């Protein structure tokens, strides 16, 4: 009798587990409206008996989304074309394909992994992803940046997801990184910095987009700093990027700026010195070495580095202005002896040359306010009443 009861219990358990779909799954499968089915799945997911049921439910959402896609991509010329509905349906299909696969790859109630949708869903969704590019562009042109980010982001994210790895990526390679770059810019605009960084990392794969992607990426990293620890982590991340692209002057300026903002003078100087060992003509490093000396009131050291910076980039009015100022300070501090006077004259001459170059490059003083310091250099060399000094005084106004 006991044996019969045990057999009956085993049969009951077997019937409960494998008799058919659960009521939770049936509720989802009965719905033919995507929004309704998605809500039912959300409400009933925990009531489904195993991973296979969950995969089946998410596959149903893919089916419903693809029905909308099919409807909109097969309209006749006389029918209205719901572009936003099409784009949203593709995004829904992508999202639910990924969720379906997550459960499809897990053991079912029998403990077996038997994927049913791994070939069908990625192939059919991949075939319609291209619509997201043009619809995203239309939305960007209308200044609907949230929609553009959604559609372009889905396009990039799906291409990066392992489930779509076996699909043919070749046709979109010519513009894929450009879409990623634009996605990163809109994510940055939305202050979604993690997402922006993800897309910009993708954009960096294309040499023609790399420099711009790095510039936006650096801005994203610096915009998301809240604590001292954030700043330290940012510097470490910047250094990782720098190791991959050490000749990038934007990176050098950003790392230098981070150290400067944290008042880490020793680390700042060490970084610039190490960079100059590799790239002795780096304008950014040379100019910042000069600025550090200026901030430390070391005119001689400042002139040394700023002169090198001016040689590396002879079209920067600010560098010539700072160089002239350092030389003027040196001239004014020269000892009042015959030898000192001669040295002072030579330094004032060099200062005037630097200031005149700054005037030539920036006559309207938009970049650098060279006027008063230039007048002082002329005053120091030629005296108050010399016509050249008077002319310099007029230029200073």
pLDDT digits 0-9 by tens, 348-383: 999 999 999 999 999 999 999 999 999 999 999 999
Q: Tell me the pLDDT band of 77, cut-offs 50, 70 and 90.
A: low
Q: Residue 226 pLDDT > 90, yes or no?
A: no
Query: How far apart are alpha carbons 367 and 37 in whole angstroms?
Result: 61
d(CA 385, CA 382): 8
**pLDDT for the residue 220:** 86
Asked if the model's pLDDT at residue 102 lies above 50, the reply is: yes
Which CATH code for domain 281-397?
Answer: 1.25.40.10
Q: What is the mean pLDDT of residues 67-83?
A: 85
Domain with CATH 1.25.40.10 in the chain: 281-397
Read off the pLDDT of each residue in 45-49 and give the average, rounded to a whole number: 93
- Give the angle subtended at the CA of 252 by the CAs of 277 and 210, to the nearest 5°: 115
Tokens of 199: 């897309």
pLDDT of 7 > 60? The answer is no
| Among the ranges given (54-58, 98-102, 335-339), the one the predictor scored with the smallest mean pLDDT | 335-339
pLDDT of 382 reads 94
CA distance 248 to 207: 13
- Mean pLDDT value of segment 168-194: 95
Average pLDDT of the chain is: 91
Q: What is the pLDDT of residue 4?
A: 39
Which of 6-10, 101-105, 234-238, 330-334 comes out lowest in average pLDDT? Answer: 6-10
Q: What is the mean pLDDT of residues 57-79?
A: 90
Question: Which residues lie closer than 8 Å to 195 by C-beta, 6 or more apart?
Answer: 153, 187
Q: Between residues 129 and 18, which one has the greater pLDDT?
A: 129
Given its phi and psi angles, is residue 183 left (phi above 0), alpha (psi -120 to 50 degrees) or beta? alpha
- pLDDT for the residue numbered 219: 87
In terms of pLDDT, which residue wins out, 356 or 9? Answer: 356
Question: Could you identify the residue written with the tokens 């005119």?
Answer: 299
Q: What is the pLDDT of residue 223?
A: 82
pLDDT at site 17: 37
* pLDDT over 90, % of the chain: 81
């Amino acid at each position: 009798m006991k044996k019969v009861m045990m057999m009956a219990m085993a049969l009951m358990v077997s019937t409960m587990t494998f008799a058919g779909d659960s009521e939770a799954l049936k509720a989802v499968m009965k719905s033919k409206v995507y929004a309704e089915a998605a809500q039912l799945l959300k409400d009933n997911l925990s009531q489904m008996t195993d991973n296979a049921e969950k995969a089946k439910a998410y596959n149903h959402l893919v089916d419903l989304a693809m029905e909308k896609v099919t409807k909109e991509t097969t309209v006749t010329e006389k029918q209205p074309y719901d572009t936003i509905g099409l784009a949203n349906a593709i995004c829904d299909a992508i999202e639910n394909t990924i969720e379906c696969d997550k459960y499809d790859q897990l053991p079912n109630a029998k403990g077996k992994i038997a994927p049913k949708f791994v070939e069908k869903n990625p192939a059919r969704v991949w075939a319609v992803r291209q619509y997201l590019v043009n619809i995203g562009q239309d939305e960007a042109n209308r200044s609907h940046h949230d929609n553009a980010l959604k559609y372009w982001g889905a396009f990039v994210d799906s291409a990066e997801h392992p489930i779509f790895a076996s699909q043919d990526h070749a046709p979109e390679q010519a513009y894929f990184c450009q879409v990623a770059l634009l996605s990163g810019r809109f994510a940055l605009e939305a202050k979604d910095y993690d997402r922006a960084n993800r897309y910009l990392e993708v954009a960096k794969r294309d040499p023609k987009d790399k420099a711009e992607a790095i510039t936006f990426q650096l801005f994203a990293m610096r915009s998301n700093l809240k604590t001292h620890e954030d700043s330290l982590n940012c510097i470490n991340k910047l250094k990782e990027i720098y190791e991959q692209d050490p000749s990038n002057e934007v990176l050098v300026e950003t790392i230098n700026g981070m150290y400067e903002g944290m008042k880490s003078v020793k680390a700042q100087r060490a970084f610039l010195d190490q960079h100059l060992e590799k790239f002795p003509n780096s304008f950014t490093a040379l100019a910042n070495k000069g600025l550090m000396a200026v901030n430390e009131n070391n005119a001689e050291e400042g002139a040394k580095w700023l002169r090198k910076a001016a040689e590396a980039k002879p079209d920067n009015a600010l560098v010539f202005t700072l160089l002239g100022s350092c030389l003027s300070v040196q001239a004014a501090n020269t000892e009042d002896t015959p030898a000192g006077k001669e040295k002072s004259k030579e330094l004032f001459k060099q200062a005037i040359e630097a200031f005149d170059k700054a005037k030539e490059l920036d006559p309207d003083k938009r970049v650098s306010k060279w006027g008063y310091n230039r007048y002082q250099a002329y005053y120091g060399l030629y005296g108050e009443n010399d016509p050249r000094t008077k002319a310099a005084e007029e230029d200073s106004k």
